């Protein structure tokens, strides 16, 4: 594998970093609690209202005991209370860098087992309950997907999530790769936060934490077939080019791609919109790797064109130039600084060779664009 020495996140990695930073945040977790609180209050009120109907249902409608509000109150409702308490514990543990998946899945299983029969409620009340819990489950599922161990999100998964939630992000937060802070798969990270594979531009970012069970996992990246798909449709076409991926799937059936789902079982008409997920099933693998820490730059943002791979080059015109390793030419005239030395702010002209600082204690010398381009005053 060829080493990728860039110190700027690729466009798709910026999208992944944005999504992870949002869904793994304390603020997002805190937003789950009022949704569960509201459902508990609403359900408690409905149970109180419908409890008198238990006797009628048992006597006249031949309900089984499992169809009563009393059964729901005894066996299903406590699952909501446990879910509520688990969120409170998770919020508290964030202060010591302990992260974990939510209890949404366990709660859903309990409700399915003990609350599947809601004859005690009206149809409107049952529909409202199911709709409210579905909203909660969908909300919590974003946390669980990011924090699951071992990590399962790959480039395709993040492409799906980005296209569904990109309207949340009119701008992208800015990040920088800290090549002086590294980690390895299977080991706890040196710092809690985002990590990018050191040498794999198609490996998905991960979130890892120091508070226990937050070790870095294997990188989820394109396998040999996935790289063939990449060459066939290009980075911008992976995963947007439905026509190209449809043709790729048909061409590579002999390599395990199942194409039955790509055609209607009745009319045998092609269903090209299913080509991306069908191809994605066969095009990822995982292996251990080394990682770099990705640091959020507070208060700085950049524009994006809405795509996953930043297809429009014009959007980048006003964006800061990429961080540049010592020994490389300066990509834009202006003021730069490096964390490798205090008071390093220096003006370079485009094409100047960025200087190295041998013997520094920081690590690789990486020059970063200064967001304040005013000349210093005497």
> What tens digit of pLDDT does each residue of 259-292 get?
888 887 787 888 889 999 999 999 999 999 999 9
Query: Is the backbone peptide bond immediately before 150 cis, with ω within 30 degrees of 0?
Result: yes
Closest by CA to 101, choosing from 151, 132, 145, is 145
Interval 203-243: pLDDT, tens:
999 999 999 899 999 999 999 999 999 999 999 899 999 99
CA separation for the pair 57, 52 (Å, rounded): 9
The token pair at 40 is: 């508990």
Q: Considering the entire predicted model, what is its pTM? A: 0.79
End-to-end C-alpha distance for the chain, whole angstroms = 50
Mind spelling out the 3-state secondary structure of the chain? CCCCCCCCCCHHHHHHHHHHHHHCCHHHHHHHHHHHHHHHHHHHHHHHHHCCHHHHHHHHCCCCHHHCHHHHHHHHHHHHHHHHHHHHHHHHHHHHCCCCCCCHHHHHHHHHHHCCCCCCCCHHHHHHHHHHHHHHHHHHHHHHHHHCCCCCCCHHHHHHHHHHHHHHCCCEEEEEEEEEEEEECCCCCCCCEEEEECCCCCCCCEEECCCCCCCCCCEEEECHHHHHHHHHHHHHHHHHCHHHHHHHHHHCHHHCCCCHHHECCCCCCECHHHHHHHHHCCCEEEECCEEEEEEEEEEEEECCCCCCCCCCHHHHHHCCCCCEECCCECCCCEEEECCCCCCCCEEECCCCECCCCCCCCCCCCEEEECCCCCCCCC
What does the pLDDT profile of the chain (378 residues) look like in tens digits? 334 444 689 999 999 999 999 999 999 999 999 999 999 999 999 999 999 999 999 998 889 999 999 999 999 999 999 999 999 999 999 999 999 999 999 999 999 999 999 999 999 999 999 999 999 999 999 999 999 999 999 999 999 999 999 999 999 999 999 999 999 999 999 999 999 999 899 999 999 999 989 999 999 999 999 999 999 999 989 999 999 999 999 888 888 788 888 887 787 888 889 999 999 999 999 999 999 999 999 999 999 999 999 975 444 444 567 677 788 888 888 888 887 787 888 999 888 888 988 877 656 677 877 767 776 654
Contact 213, 149 (CB under 8 A): yes
Contact 2, 197 (CB under 8 A): no
Pairing mode, if any, of strands 366-369 and 324-325?
Answer: antiparallel
CA separation for the pair 163, 308 (Å, rounded): 8
CA separation for the pair 331, 323 (Å, rounded): 9
The token pair at 348 is: 């370079």
Burial class from Cβ neighbours inside 10 Å (0-12, 13-18, 19+) for residue 96 reads exposed
CA separation for the pair 330, 61 (Å, rounded): 81
């Amino acid at each position: 594998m060829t080493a990728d020495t860039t110190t700027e996140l690729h466009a798709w990695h910026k999208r992944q970093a944005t999504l992870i930073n949002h869904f793994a945040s304390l603020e997002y977790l805190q937003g789950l609690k009022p949704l569960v609180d509201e459902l508990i209050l609403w359900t408690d009120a409905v149970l109180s209202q419908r409890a008198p109907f238990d006797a009628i249902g048992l006597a006249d409608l031949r309900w089984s005991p499992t169809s009563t509000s009393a059964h729901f109150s005894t066996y299903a409702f406590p699952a909501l209370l446990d879910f509520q308490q688990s969120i409170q514990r998770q919020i508290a543990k964030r202060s010591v860098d302990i992260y974990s998946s939510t209890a949404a899945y366990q709660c859903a299983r309990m409700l399915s087992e003990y609350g599947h029969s809601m004859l005690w409620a009206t149809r409107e009340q049952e529909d409202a309950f199911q709709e409210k819990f579905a909203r909660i489950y969908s909300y919590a599922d974003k946390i669980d997907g990011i924090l699951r161990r071992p990590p399962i999100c790959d480039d395709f998964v993040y492409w799906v999530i980005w296209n569904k939630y990109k309207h949340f992000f009119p701008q992208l937060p800015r990040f920088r790769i800290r090549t002086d802070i590294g980690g390895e798969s299977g080991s706890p990270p040196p710092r809690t936060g985002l990590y990018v594979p050191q040498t794999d531009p198609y490996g998905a970012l991960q979130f890892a934490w120091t508070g226990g069970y937050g070790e870095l996992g294997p990188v989820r990246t394109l396998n040999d077939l996935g790289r063939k798909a990449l060459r066939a449709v290009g980075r911008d076409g992976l995963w947007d080019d439905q026509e190209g991926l449809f043709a790729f799937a048909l061409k590579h059936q002999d390599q395990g791609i199942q194409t039955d789902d790509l055609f209607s079982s009745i009319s045998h008409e092609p269903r090209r919109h299913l080509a991306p997920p069908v191809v994605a099933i066969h095009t990822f693998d995982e292996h251990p790797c080394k990682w770099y820490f990705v640091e959020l730059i507070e208060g700085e943002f950049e524009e994006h064109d809405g795509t996953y791979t930043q297809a429009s080059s014009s959007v980048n015109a006003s964006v800061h130039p990429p961080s540049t390793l010592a020994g490389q030419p300066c990509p834009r005239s202006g003021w730069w600084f490096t964390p490798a030395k205090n008071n390093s702010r220096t003006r370079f002209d485009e094409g100047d060779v960025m200087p190295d600082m041998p013997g520094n204690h920081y690590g690789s010398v990486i020059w970063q664009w200064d967001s304040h381009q005013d000349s210093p005053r005497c």
